[in-house]
Amino acid sequence: MSRAARPRVSVIVPAFEMGHYLPDAVRSIEAQGFEDLEIIVVDDGSTDDTPHVIAALGDRVLAVRQPNRGPAAARNRGLALAAGEVIAFLDADDLWPEGKLRTQLERLDRDPKLDVVLGRIQYVALDGAALPDIEFESLDTKTISHVHLGSGLYRRRVFDRLGSFDETLRISEDVDWFMRAREAQLRMVIIPEVTLVYRLHATNMTREMSVGTSRMLTVLKQSLDRRRAAGLHGDLTTWRSLDERTADTPTVSVVIPAFNAAKYLREAIRSVLEQTHKPLEVIVVDDGSSDATASVARRFGSPVRVLGRPHGGIGAARNAGLAETRGEFVALLDADDLWERDKLARQLERFDADPGLDLVFAGVEQFVSPELDGAVLPEGQKPSRTGPCASALLVRADVVARVGPFREDVDLGEFLDWYDRALGAGCRTGSVEGMLVRRRVHATNNGLRFRSDRGDWAKVVKDVLDRRRASGGGNA
């Protein structure tokens, strides 16, 4: 590939001891089929065969060598040589997926004010390397959204404005740059497409990195110091707010109240993310947990939003989540329950078939959690064709507002109370066939934890009966 005199895109490839992987990286750039670019390979003082590999690439790349000074210095050297109006980065051991440049350039061209376009990252393990212990958005494709220079395209003007990479940081220099970008309120988006294939192998720089060695704390403190010095207050723009991940329509918001639910929460969230109807948002309300509930939820990244609050009970947690929803429909899921993959799709089909419905329930099958080895379900907890229970509900958002919030003065029965008020408000209820909700029976179910406290149930049932008598419904 001959280098354009004034290319539109400059691709900077820092390389240190990466002769084995570099040719694949360069081929993935060339495979984009985009001629109006230059590839700048900066050899950061390699002592292996990297210089010979670069020489064999010939005029396909602009090559430069420097003493080893770290990835920040190598990228800065590339920036000094780059002639393009758009800058891209690719580490020598990573790859670009097919269509990356076309997709991201189209997004930049649609919005001249946009500064940076990022995308999803796909993880691939090489040579027996292990995948990181993180929650992928998709278990099948092993993709996730987080900060990585190689996943983005950057207008040259942003480096003129922010400056280059901090060469005192040999690790986390990319995070430092992104922190400065957020402080400067650069216009950035994260598109749904995969724009980087991140290859894990035995010699990744970050393979054995800990919080201490990553310099992450240093980077975060520097950002805080800069903001204080500038008199800036409040949080930075969240990465989640930049995500252009497309939800299916009609849109569904999912609220998961969670209190000390770390043991089961991962499975619950995964059952939502794997729905055939992709939800708009997943809101986990951490109700003052003392375990790892919040960190379990945050490991999922941008598809999941975590709201922390002091412990107030499940009714208060549901209300906090509902107040944040933006979807046309709202679904509730308790943190220890699970959905079948087509739960939302089947319920939405029911709404579509009968537009007058306000609430639709799905069938519930109760199961004994695996750790209760040998336990069996009590006779009264056999599978039921329909709920009504919170995890089986899909409801129109305007109905939630009409019925009002959940009770916050009880630990048990808050959903029964809300459902009765919905019926009293004239809401039409429907159901779908099939067991689409799996309700987990385990040692710490609320019904078991508060079994000795019959006062809440008595209070809720009395209020239900009083409302029905007052409305002329008798004792039904």
What pLDDT is recorded for position 211? 43
Give me the pLDDT at residue 359, please: 97
- Chain centroid to CA 223: 23
pLDDT at 96: 97
Of 369, 290, 312, residue with least CA distance to 337: 369
DSSP string, 97-154: PTTHHHHHHHHHHH-TT--EEEEEEEEEE-TTPPPPSS--SBTTTTEE----GGG-EE
- SS3 for 159? helix
For residue 231, the model assigns a pLDDT of 84
Q: What is the pLDDT of residue 379?
A: 55
pLDDT for 164? 94
Instruction: Give the domain ranges of the chain.
Output: 9-240, 247-470
| pLDDT tens per residue across all 476 residues of the chain | 444 568 999 999 999 999 999 999 999 999 999 999 999 999 999 999 999 999 999 999 999 999 999 999 999 999 999 999 999 999 999 999 999 999 999 999 999 999 999 999 999 988 778 887 777 777 778 787 777 899 999 999 999 999 999 999 988 899 999 999 999 999 999 998 999 999 998 776 554 444 445 577 888 888 888 888 888 877 777 777 788 878 899 999 999 999 999 999 999 999 999 999 999 999 999 999 999 999 999 988 878 999 999 999 999 999 999 999 999 999 999 999 999 999 999 999 999 999 999 999 999 988 887 776 655 555 555 554 545 899 999 999 999 999 999 999 988 889 999 999 999 999 999 999 889 999 888 776 655 444 555 677 677 677 778 677 777 665 44
Instruction: Tell me what pLDDT residue 465 has.
Output: 82
Q: How far is CA 333 from the centre of its chain?
A: 18
CATH number of 9-240: 3.90.550.10
In the prediction, which pLDDT does 450 show?
A: 46
Residue (of 142, 234, 238) closest to 194 by Cα position = 142
d(CA 325, CA 316): 15
3-state secondary structure at position 341? coil
Does this chain's domain 9-240 share its CATH topology with 247-470? Answer: yes
| H or E stretch covering 77 | helix 71-81
Cα–Cα separations (whole angstroms), residue 416 to 319, 411, 413: 15, 12, 5
Helix residue ranges, H only, 130-261: 156-162, 173-183, 216-229
Q: Which class in CATH covers the domain with range 247-470?
A: alpha beta
Q: What is the pTM of this model?
A: 0.76
Q: How far is CA 38 from CA 32, 45, 46, 92, 301, in A?
A: 12, 22, 22, 15, 33
